[in-house]
Structure 1
Amino acid sequence: ARQAEVKRLFRPIEELKKDFAELNVVIETDMQIMVRLINKFNSSSSSLEEKIAALFDLEYYVHQMDNAQDLFSFGGLQVVINGLNSTEPLVKEYAAFVLGAAFSSNPRVQVEAIEGGALQKLLVILATEQPLATKKKVLFALCSLLRHFPYAQQQFLKLGGLQVLRSLVQEKGMEVLAVRVVTLLYDLVTEKMFAEEEAELTRETSPEKLQQYRQVHLLPGLQEQGWCAITASLLALPEHDAREKVLQTLGALLATCRDHYRQDAQLSRTLASLQAEYQALAALELQDGEEEGYFQELLGSINSFLQGLR
């Protein structure tokens, strides 16, 4: 009865296509649209504006997991990855934009991207002189590729990814990317920690993914590359949101960087200044009737960090 009701209410797609064909209206599937956009982007006769427009439209479609997987099934993913080699900064920027959307929470696409050389190309762009807008999108793609993909994280470390990010946050004019980099590092550190905790709780000692995480020697690499000092220095940023993210990362690195933090006089002064600032702001929140306000949470994070340093 249910099927009969559906058939009564809706017409078959083939019948609709026939009607539209008679009206000279063509219905394209997502796959057909993506093939057309890739062909437009890859055509030597397309102008720069047409290529960028094709990538912009393509990004909309690859947010959907199935579409992103279809993109590599017909070779479109590799075409976009190759776009990272372009001499045009805008092409690099929008190619990275598409890739970041396609990689997000999509393991099959992440694997294909690693095999297609995407990681190396992304790191090269971050390590060379490029416009800020390009590096923003490339960093977005890198974050999407690394998250929840321990094999990519291993390759990232082997390719000197931490050195590339260190140079990026210290590069003049790229300060706005520093918090994004620190947030990525926080995510990677806690991701591995949660994977190990979950394995311990479930008593699974040798699942493949856990073994991959155990080969990601991220904390030693961060310590060797001077990230204890870099992260501590970023706490002086003026934005509250930035400070919140830096505090999170400082906490995640505490066990590794405790000795450095204890000896860092500038960090001690910054923490004391922020503690006083957020005590005053938290008091104002309480006066306004906010018992669990934003600044009280930040003050709690500072106090917890100071407690952990003792």
Structure 2
Amino acid sequence: MNCLAYLASSALRWNLILLLSAFLFCSCLSEQTPEFALTEVKEKKMHETENEEVTVEDELDPEDQEAFYPTREWQTVKPGQAVPAGLHMRLNLQTGKNEARIPDPENEKNGMKYKKKDKRLGKVNVDSNLYTPQELKKALAKFKEGVTESTEEEKAKLEGIKQKFRPIDELKKEFEELNMQIETDFEIMTKLISKFNSSNSSLDEKAAALNDLEYYVHQVDNAQNMLCVGGLQLVINELNGTEAVLKELSAFVLGSALSSNPKVQVEAIEGGALQKLLMILGTEQPLSLKKKALFALSSMLRHFPYAQQQFLKHGGLQILRSFFREKGAEVLCIRVVTLLYDMIVEKALLHDFEGNSEQMKEKIEQYEQINLVPVIMEQGWCTIISDLLGMPEHDTREKVLKTVHLLMASCRDQYREDQKLNSTLNILRREYEELVSEEQKSGENDSYFRELLINVNEILQNLR
């Protein structure tokens, strides 16, 4: 009996607990109902707001949909839209979408303001109430197109700038035309040589071709290319021609091609250029032709010992000596003295050069076979050269003084017996002493006449 009473009382207690739990659960449900109703109202209001925003956004371009324009009401943030920093964000549990809005004024007082940040431009305060979506759309369209409203002054300035420059298409077209007309030096030289060698070309055309050809052969490569087309031999053969103007221009071309060009020097001497040039210089010819022939001869002899040997062998010094007996040939005489001076110095400098290469040894052996100074002494060049000191030009005197000083060791006996030379040197000394004194008074540091005076005094000292 006691057991039954205990069971009954236990069952009664569990029933009371279950009834109390049910009552509390119902009470909670009744309290939540108004809240759910309020949420439905709010969501309905949000849906209306969203519909209004959609209507506005539908008027915008598809590219503008990416921009999010915040207001003080909650708006749905669509996928891909850029949301400015500083907005309030929330997740709508009913729709599952993100929403954002501008903070309330009460929060703004606490320092929370909407700001649009740009890494390049810095912070810019934006009030969305001042701009409508349509205005933002127009501004964004202009920004994308890079178009700004220009004043009439700016348009005129831009037009003036355009007129100063030519269109790129026009320039490209002209460059294409120019490229089609560009010719290499080799092609131009080939045409010039063909025109010079053509029997249909007039005398003036041949002369013009040679004159143009001389311009190109100054370059070492062009002069060597002239060998490939046979131009060098044509020029050498023309030295025996009948037209003086063509002979003169041919010698001019030859001299320019020979200058510091060993390959052309070898080809020229093998082609008979040396004999033809000596023939012109040893016969009665116009002075202008002899000038060009002497220029070509000098270009051939300089730094070419084999040509110097052949020059002496063919009596070249005797031919050049004849210039000193001709009237009006002083310019040729000075050039001859300069050539002799250079040839003597070449050999002297080579002896001072220290080199063990086979090529240098061979070159020294070639120069050893040139006996220029002994031939100068035998043919009386010592006096012939010193007599040029009587010329009035200082430049001529400078070249002659250097040559006399260079020949002093070999020509000392002849110079000591030459009373005319001693008298001329004393006159020059007094003259240059006065000029040096005038230079000192004027404050000139680089004294040209001082150098000449030193040369005169050194020669006089060696003659004592």
- Determine helix, strand or coil for the equivalent of 1:253: helix
Whether 1:38 aligns to 2:202 is: no
Whether 1:141 aligns to 2:300 is: no
Match of 2:277 among 122, 138, 156: 122
**Stretches of 4+ aligned residues off by more than 6 angstroms:** 203-206
What is the alpha-carbon distance in structure 2 between the residues aligned to residue 51 and residue 127 of structure 1? 26
What is the alpha-carbon distance in structure 1 between the residues aligned to residue 367 and residue 204 of structure 2? 42
Whether 1:163 aligns to 2:330 is: no
Whether 1:279 aligns to 2:433 is: yes
Would you say the 8 A contact 2:422–2:460 is kept in 1?
no
Distance 1:204 1:248, change over 3 A: farther
What is the alpha-carbon distance in structure 1 between the residues aligned to residue 368 and residue 229 of structure 2? 34
User: What are the equivalent positions in structure 2 for 1:299-310 lying under 5 Å apart?
Assistant: 299-310=453-464
Partner of 1:177: 332
Whether 1:246 aligns to 2:403 is: no
Partner of 1:223: 377
> How many residues are paired up?
292
Partner of 1:151: 306
Would you say the 8 A contact 2:238–2:246 is kept in 1?
yes
- Determine helix, strand or coil for the equivalent of 2:242: coil
What is the alpha-carbon distance in structure 2 between the residues aligned to residue 204 and residue 55 of structure 1? 40
Partner of 2:253: 98
What is the alpha-carbon distance in structure 2 between the residues aligned to residue 155 and residue 176 of structure 1? 25
Deviation by residue 1:189-247 (Cα, 9 ceiling, x = unmatched): 0111101111xx44679711111111111001111111001001111111000000011
What percentage of aligned pairs have identical amino acids?
A: 61
Gaps of 5+ in 1: 1-15
Distance 1:72 1:203, change over 3 A: closer
User: Partner amino acid for 2:395?
Assistant: D
What is the alpha-carbon distance in structure 1 between the residues aligned to residue 357 and residue 454 of structure 2? 35
Deviation by residue 1:144-200 (Cα, 9 ceiling, x = unmatched): 1100001100000000000010002322221221111100100000111101111xx
What is the alpha-carbon distance in structure 1 between the residues aligned to residue 463 and residue 194 of structure 2? 57
What is the alpha-carbon distance in structure 1 between the residues aligned to residue 390 and residue 296 of structure 2? 27
Match of 1:267 among 413, 421, 426: 421
Bigger relative CO (Cα 8 Å, ≥ 6 apart): 1
Would you say the 8 A contact 2:389–2:400 is kept in 1?
yes
Would you say the 8 A contact 1:127–1:168 is kept in 2?
no
Q: Could you tell me how far 1:134 is from its partner in structure 2? A: 0.7
Whether 1:77 aligns to 2:221 is: no
Deviation by residue 1:124-144 (Cα, 9 ceiling, x = unmatched): 000111111111111111111
Partner of 1:132: 287
What is the alpha-carbon distance in structure 1 between the residues aligned to residue 461 and residue 221 of structure 2? 47
Q: Could you tell me how far 1:309 is from its partner in structure 2? A: 2.5
What is the alpha-carbon distance in structure 2 between the residues aligned to residue 106 and residue 193 of structure 1? 22
Deviation by residue 1:240-268 (Cα, 9 ceiling, x = unmatched): 00000011111111111111111101001
Would you say the 8 A contact 1:96–1:138 is kept in 2?
yes
What is the alpha-carbon distance in structure 1 between the residues aligned to residue 365 and residue 344 of structure 2? 15
What is the alpha-carbon distance in structure 1 between the residues aligned to residue 200 and residue 378 of structure 2? 49
Distance 1:277 1:24, change over 3 A: closer
Partner of 2:140: none
What is the alpha-carbon distance in structure 2 between the residues aligned to residue 57 and residue 44 of structure 1? 19
Distance 1:61 1:263, change over 3 A: same
Distance 1:271 1:31, change over 3 A: same
Structure in which a larger fraction of residues adopt helix: 1
Q: CA RMSD in A?
A: 2.0
Whether 1:60 aligns to 2:218 is: no
Question: Which one has the largest radius of gyration?
Answer: 2
Whether 1:258 aligns to 2:412 is: yes
Partner of 2:444: 290
What is the alpha-carbon distance in structure 1 between the residues aligned to residue 260 and residue 285 of structure 2? 27
Would you say the 8 A contact 1:145–1:152 is kept in 2?
yes
Q: Could you tell me how far 1:19 is from its partner in structure 2? A: 3.9
Would you say the 8 A contact 1:278–1:299 is kept in 2?
yes
Q: Could you tell me how far 1:83 is from its partner in structure 2? A: 1.1
Deviation by residue 1:14-57 (Cα, 9 ceiling, x = unmatched): xx9x944xx79432211111111111111122111111111110
Partner of 2:267: 112
User: Partner amino acid for 1:189?
Assistant: I
- Determine helix, strand or coil for the equivalent of 2:181: coil
User: What are the equivalent positions in structure 2 for 1:9-28 lying under 5 Å apart?
Assistant: 19-20=176-177, 25-28=180-183
Partner of 2:363: 209
